[in-house]
Amino acid sequence: MSVDNASQPIKPLRIAVLVSGSGSNLQVLINAMQAGALPIEIVGVISNREDAYALTRAKDANIPVAVLSHVAKGKRMGIKTFETHANEQLIAWQPDLIVLAGFMRVLSGSFIDNVPAPMINLHPSLLPVYKGLDTHKRVIQAGERCHGCSIHKVTAELDAGQVLTQAVLNVDINDTVESLQSRVQKLEHQLLPWTILLLAKNVLPLEANNTSSQIQTYLPKLPLQLLIDG
């Protein structure tokens, strides 16, 4: 592939999205897909919570959903059972890319290694700093000047896969956990569609040895950073 090919019309990237909550990031992708702004087809949404508002968003857009609730009939569904069903569902949908967008269960290494498509995660910190939970609180406690969000490849080690893109903001002296969460989420809503566009156009690498490494020889090293001081 040459750089010129990046502007050619391309086959839509088939995307499966895993969610646990509100699904505002999913909504951004749905809107962009429906507007024809992104060359994607959202082929299905999996939620581990039956009360996730993300499911309503998907159903309203006529996107197939699978609810693999972590609590069913009063019993907790173990992660292995969840992963078996999730893998079957993903195989049936045949995605090119799996997006974890606010998905809050920790997945096992064997699931991650065997899913039928590359998987990326949206994380609310500037990785590699602040892996895990409560990132906004920890950023404020540490008196950080900068914060943001990252999109990284999912590997067996939590929040440790290659970081593809990041969006950065300046932490304000008056910021609270709530204000930072809201400001970072606005960044996520921009970073996710930009990143998926670059993946769909094969500018960012989905696989380790794909042709886009040719392009990267001539581009800055990853992660690609977007500075939005909103």
The residues binding ligand GRF (CB under 6 A) are 19, 21-25, 54, 101-102, 122, 124, 149, 185, 188
Tokens of 19: 């969610």
CB of 126 to ligand GRF, least distance (A): 12
Q: Which residue's CB comes closest to ligand GRF?
A: 102
Single-letter amino acid code for the residue at 84: T
Nearer to ligand GRF, 63 or 215 (CB): 63
Kindly give, in sequence order, each residue whose CB lies less than 8 Å from that of residue 188, ignoring residues fewer than 6 positions away.
25, 122, 124, 149, 167
Which helix H or strand E contains 65, and what residues bound it? strand 65-67
Nearer to ligand GRF, 21 or 39 (CB): 21
CB of 152 to ligand GRF, least distance (A): 12
Q: How many CA atoms lie within 13 A of 134 on its CB side?
A: 5
Nearer to ligand GRF, 102 or 193 (CB): 102
**CA-closest candidate to residue 42, choices 58, 25, 24:** 58
Catalytic site includes residue 136: no
Question: Catalytic: which of 70, 85, 123, 147?
Answer: 123
Which residues are catalytic, by number? 123
